[in-house]
Amino acid sequence: MEEIVHRTVEVNGIKMHVAEKGEGPVVLFLHGFPELWYSWRHQILHLSSVGYRAVAPDLRGYGDSDAPEPLTAYTCFHLVGDIVALIDSLGVDKVFLVAHDWGAILGWYLCLFRPDRVKAYVCLSVPFRPFLGRNPQQKTVDMFRALYGEDYYICRFQEPGKMEAELARVDTGYLMKNILTTRQTGPPIFPKGEYGTGFNPHTPETLPSWLTQQDLDYYVTKFSKSGFTGGLNYYRNLNPNWELTAPWTGVGIVNVPVKFITGSVDLVYTSPGMKEYIHDGGFKKDVASLEEVVVQEGVGHFNNQEAAHDVANHIHDFITKF
């Protein structure tokens, strides 16, 4: 895609696939589930055209990066260790960080553990609070289990092999289309016993304007090869992560300037209590260096793709301050 360079680097004991383009200060993009470096294709082209070196890896367990077999190889320390080693490999001390979904959670961990490596952070979709300094089993999962029953997706991701077996019942193309085009608000719910229509019961017959068949085919090719276990293992380490990060309980983000961008119909933003946390002071209390919150009207969870150019402009406007 327009001279994006692909290479493999050795970081933190694994081989990581990296896509990059441009010269200048580094903007590092971290994708979520179930995504790839490709989710940032538009932002890579935009930022590289205005004087930045845009870098987007396939995270551990995804795409063309290594996917270690042990479940214990996917803790927050392993994942953040990959990112720090990747920054080292780029030959820079600090990066502008942009991240979405699970990448956003890793971004918060990076700002918490190694703020010395981040100039500024543009976070998409997932604010600081989820799973950080709180027991997800006793707090977050129990709350959603009470609201939605045993079908709540984090509950069901926990058992190795169970969700993989359900996802394998349907075509990968349908699965990716189902997830990427969802407009359902609130946390995603998988039907109990079989995947069925997934968490998007209104999967469109035709693709939306922001997602081409070529885009979908890229995801299908990569996930058909790698499967989903690597990405699911991030969820399966929620409880270990809570235990490992006990020393940071109650610690917020202070030294990294932050801009937060979400869609008005994002499934995280519309989850119970999330709007109140973001807008009524809780988010700012936890992230003292939060400078701006942007809500994109009518945009769903995958705003880095659905509202790609708007997101790219927001990123550029923010990082030019530093």
Q: Which of 46, 301, 314, 316 is catalytic?
A: 301
Concerning whether 31 is annotated as a catalytic residue, the answer is: no
- Residue burial 209-222, b: 16+ Cβ < 10 Å; e: rest: ebbeeebbebbbeb
Concerning whether 301 is annotated as a catalytic residue, the answer is: yes
Q: Which of 62, 152, 235, 277 is catalytic?
A: 235
- Residue burial 128-162, b: 16+ Cβ < 10 Å; e: rest: bbbbbbebbeeebbebbeeebeebbbbbbbbeeee
Neighbours of 12 (CB within 10 A): 17
Concerning whether 235 is annotated as a catalytic residue, the answer is: yes
Q: Which of 58, 64, 101, 286 is catalytic?
A: 101
Give the whole-angstrom CA distance, residue 32 versus residue 102.
4
- Token digits for 104? 């956003």
Q: Is the dihedral of CA 286, 291, 295, 301 positive or negative?
A: negative
Distances (CA, A) of 20 to 6, 12, 78, 271, 313: 7, 20, 23, 34, 19
Distances (CA, A) of 169 to 114, 162, 197: 41, 12, 11
Distances (CA, A) of 30 to 27, 104, 322: 10, 7, 20
Active site residues: 101, 235, 301
